[in-house]
Structure 1
Amino acid sequence: MARVIFHVDMNSFYASVEQAYHPELKGKPIAIAGNPKERRGIIVTSSYEARAKGIYTTMNVAEALKTCPELIILPPDFPKYREASKAIFTILKSYTNLVEPVSIDEGYMDVTEVSKERHPLELAKEIQLRIFNELDLPCSIGIAPNKFLAKTASDMKKPMGITVLRKREVREKLWPLPVLKMHGIGESTAKKLHTLNIYTIGDLAKADERLLKQKLGKNGVRLIRRANGIDTREVDPNAIYDTKSVGNSTTLPYDIIEMKDIETTFLKLSEKVAERLEAKNLCGSTITIQIRDCHWKNQSKSKTVQNPIYLEKDIFREAMELFSKAWDGTPIRLLGVTVSNVIDKKHFAEQLSIFNFEQFAKEEPIYEIIHSMEKKFGKGIVQKGIDVKKKSYASKTSFSKDFFDDLIDK
């Protein structure tokens, strides 16, 4: 049976929330940015009035003020945005439990069942008006038979747009567009596709699947399917809690080149990543570092370790080892550390090796005592660790995976 999927995308979310809280800002060019005195001073988002004057996301604050001297710069207020987001998703969940948040300001709804009783367009208009009337926040909604087309549709008309995109319209509406316009394709992937003489979404839709799999791996096959309007992913309300990686990065106040500054930065990043892994009771087997130099050139290095890691000292050690192999001495603007391929610690069975055999040999007497106690008092009398409620180290910034804990059906 054909599905009816909505993609609800808030328009200029942070700026719109500020204008909702401060009506005197409505109709004025405003932008949300980090500290203008530091390197973090770039535009995070801006109102449509500011965009009309040439302001765009990632623009430097100084450049933005030159372009638009009357621009009102506001610091981000994430607790305020999180509260607004919870209110939005509460409205969405009043229509169906099949709501999948994908970020603080967008999410999917599977309204197939609801659409048996009400026309999807009527439903979308009601949702859009409720969010606007109750929260004073504008949104665009894409309506389609799958998630990819719904996401694409929601981008077609902003602000306050409602767009229907049917699979049969893909050839006419999407194929003539450049590949960079397709959701899921960034500049790097677009450049790779250009080397294969793939310039439009239509070129991609008709591309040789084997060639793209060879050049781009599984993602190449996925992109061909999406270009043909095919996407079988379901709307999964629990997907937001499926943590695949835990990372942290920081833009430095000034370019650094001294090793002690680099080590201090990696130590802080490793500490934050370790805290978040601990809070979620996770460990991971792949560690990745990100380096952005003073020329805005990005590079990353990854390593998969034999035994999953979660401790600060282990994350720091692996990060520094990767850094020593990757850095060419150019002054550094940003550093990041990510631990991925994460699993629950309860499911982690450390692999014996020549390097850790002695550790297990030392623990052998302990296992004998446990075995003896279990024989006397019963299986499971002694457990290796227990689950306790830990302090939350989840990000309190734009988005985090525990964001919707209070919206889960108990």
Structure 2
Amino acid sequence: MVSARVIFHIDMNSFYASVEIANHPELKGKPLAIAGKPEERHGIIVTSSYEARKMGIRTTMTVQEARKLCPGLIVRHPDFYLYRHTSEQLFEMLKGYTPLVEKASIDEGYLDVSAQIDPTHPLSLAEDIQNRIARQLHLPCSIGIAPNKFLAKMASNMKKPMGMIIIRKRELQEKLWPLPIGKMHGVGPKTEQKFHTAGILTIGDLARQDPHFIAAKYGSNGQRLYELANGEDARPVDPDAWDRYKSIGHSVTLARDTRSIDVIRDTLHKLAEKLTLQLKKEHVTSYELMLTIRYKNWTTVTRHRTTAQPIRNRDEIEGLAFSMFRENWNGIAVRLLGITLAAFQSISESTKQLDLFTYQQDAKTERLIGLIDELNNKFGDHALSPAVRLLEDKRSARQDGMNS
């Protein structure tokens, strides 16, 4: 007989803002927002304290809009080093309770505590974890408790801050099924709209559908969502998920040493294509890129860049690598170029963070990039390219003419 699993989902509440408050106690109890370029009126609010939320402050508002609602709003620039360091402290603490800890993002993770507690009495351990995080890190968190990862994730979202909710399978009809389908983890806006068109408005509506109809109409993803809606999720808590792929990289020695920007850009483009294929194959995204440049005199330099949002496609890899090359090239002829990606996360768990500095542009181009990816997958990688790449190619050609 297989014993019941007990899974905790730890969800840190308003993480960036809470970390700022923990490290700057004078901010406690005050309306606080974290924003990209807070000195500019059109900087975007990324997250805010619960005091600010009570004043109507919401993610994606501009700083100007937020300050109209809350004249006393304190706006801070993000401190990613501090957030990552705090996240490392959090997960080291969680590993002291069980070796089965899966980091899902910088501020959330799963624990399988089945072997540590009586499955019928999980609350005391959850309370100990919640209180210890509050006491030692001065951070609030919500904890979802359930027999699988999906239900634990749904439970942790039900009460914030400092919530603690249990969902048992026998409670699905009461606690889960009345929720709007858009509140279901794994259902994005597009899928939500498709479900609404079919009259599926709640999680219960999906759970009560004919599974053959769902599989035929929505494919394997729809079938997976149907199973989740019925509380079925056999995925294990995987401690190696976050760090499974330490790095992937490719480099190429050029046919001849070159100072041609066009050749360099084309080489980075081809390296980015290879890396994109590997990301797709492994179903992961990356948060770190390293560029290697070797000159004709065999001098080798490497430059490293950590990103706030996941790198997932060719244009993002190529664009970042080329930008780093421009910043660091000393003008000497290049013999070798390499790109290495690291800090991977499962794409199923990777939620694209708001770009703190170019959110407006990112929001406008997200749908277009998706369409370009679909058409290139169908008709070939070079069927369509963003206009910005064509313009950059023209600039590179002019620059090459000046350098030759």
TM-score by length of 2: 0.66
SS at match of 1:230: coil
Query: What is the identity percentage for the equivalent residue pairs of Structure 1 and Structure 2?
Result: 54
Looking at structure 1, the residues matched to 166 and 181 of structure 2 have their Cα atoms a distance apart, in angstroms, of 21
Inter-partner Cα distance in structure 2 for 1:106 and 1:3: 19
Query: Structure 1 pair 111/27, CA: closer, same or farther in 2 (3 Å)?
Result: same
Measure the CA separation in 2 of the matches of 1:99 and 1:266.
Answer: 30
Does the C-alpha gap of structure 1 residues 149 and 281 become closer, same or farther in structure 2, counting only changes over 3 Å? closer
- Deviations for 1:209-253, whole angstroms, at most 9, x for unmatched residues? 2332233321100111111111111000011134534468xxxxx
Aligned residue number for residue 28 of structure 1: 30
Residue in 2 that maps onto 1:278 = 340
Looking at structure 1, the residues matched to 179 and 77 of structure 2 have their Cα atoms a distance apart, in angstroms, of 36
Aligned counterpart, 2:367: 298
Query: Which stretch of structure 1 is more off in the superposition, 110-119 or 153-162?
Result: 110-119
1:46 deviates by 0.4
- Separation in 2, partners of 1:167, 1:294: 38
1:186–1:21 Cα change, 3 Å: same
> Given the superposition, is the C-alpha separation of residues 265 and 110 from structure 1 closer, same or farther in structure 2, using an over 3 Å criterion?
closer
Look up the match of 1:376: none
Following superposition, the deviation at residue 126 of structure 1 comes to 0.5
1:323 aligned onto 2:323: no
How far residue 10 of structure 1 moved from its aligned partner, in angstroms, is: 0.5
> Matched residues in 2 for 1:116 and 1:276: separation?
52
Q: Secondary structure at the match of 2:9?
A: strand
Change (3 A) 1:29 1:38: closer
What residue is the counterpart of 1:57 in the other structure?
59
2:5, 2:119 within 8 Å by CA — same for their partners in 1? no
* Structure 2 unpaired stretches of 5+: 246-282, 288-314, 326-336, 345-359, 389-404
Letter in 1 for 2:320: L
Paired with 2:228 and 2:343, the residues of 1 have a C-alpha distance of 35
Looking at structure 2, the residues matched to 104 and 294 of structure 1 have their Cα atoms a distance apart, in angstroms, of 22
1:347-398 CA distance string (max 9 Å, x none): xxxxxxxxxxxxxxxxxxxxxxxxxxxxxxxxxxxxxxxxxxxxxxxxxxxx
Partner Cα distance (1:58, 1:133) in 2: 31
Counterpart secondary structure, 1:278:
strand
Quick one: distance in 2 between partners of 1:246 and 1:117? 35
Residue type matched to 1:7 in 2? H
1:140-186 deviation per Cα after TM superposition (whole angstroms, max 9, x unaligned): 11110000110111111111111111111011111122101111112
Question: Secondary structure at 1:85's aligned position in 2?
Answer: helix
> Quick one: distance in 2 between partners of 1:296 and 1:65?
27
User: Helix, strand or coil: the match of 2:385?
Assistant: helix
- Amino acid across the alignment from 1:165: I
Deviations 1:14-57 (A, max 9, x none): 10110011101000000001013569821111000001111111
Distance, in Å, in 1 between the alignment partners of 2:366 and 2:119 is 53
Q: Is the 8 A contact 1:171 1:202 kept in 2?
A: yes
Contact 1:143–1:163 (CA under 8 A) maintained in structure 2: yes
Distance 2:19 2:185 in 1: 25
> Aligned-pair RMSD on alpha carbons?
3.5
- Residue 319 (structure 2) aligns with: 268
**Residue of structure 2 aligned with 1:75, choices 77, 81, 97:** 77
CA shift for structure 1 position 73: 0.4
Question: Aligned with 1:323: secondary structure?
Answer: coil
Distance 1:241 1:24 in 2: 36
8 A Cα contact 2:9 2:156, kept in partner: yes
1:155 counterpart = 2:157: yes
CA contact (8 A) 1:139 1:161 kept: yes
**Count of aligned pairs between the two proteins:** 295
Alignment of 1:307-386 (within 5 A): 322-323=384-385
Distance 1:117 1:198 in 2: 34
- Is the Cα–Cα contact under 8 Å of residues 292 and 298 in structure 1 kept in the other structure? no
Match of 2:91 among 79, 89, 92: 89
- Given that 1:247 and 1:273 are in contact with CA atoms closer than 8 Å, whether structure 2 keeps it comes out as no
Q: Which moved more, 1:295-304 or 1:176-185?
A: 295-304
Unaligned runs of at least 5 residues, structure 1: 249-263, 283-290, 307-316, 328-410
Match of 1:219 among 221, 228, 236: 221
Residues in 1 aligned to 2:316 and 2:108: alpha-carbon distance in whole angstroms = 32
- CA change 1:107–1:69 in 2 (3 A) is same
Aligned match of 1:207: 209
3-state DSSP class of the match of 1:6? strand
2:184: which partner in 1?
A: 182
- How much does 1:268 deviate? 2.7
- The answer to whether the Cα contact below 8 Å between 1:30 and 1:74 also exists between their aligned partners in 2 is yes
- Using structure 1 for the length normalisation, give the TM-score: 0.65
Q: Given the superposition, is the C-alpha separation of residues 182 and 266 from structure 1 closer, same or farther in structure 2, using an over 3 Å criterion?
A: closer
After TM superposition, the structure 1 stretch with the greater mean CA deviation from structure 2, 193-202 or 37-46, is 37-46
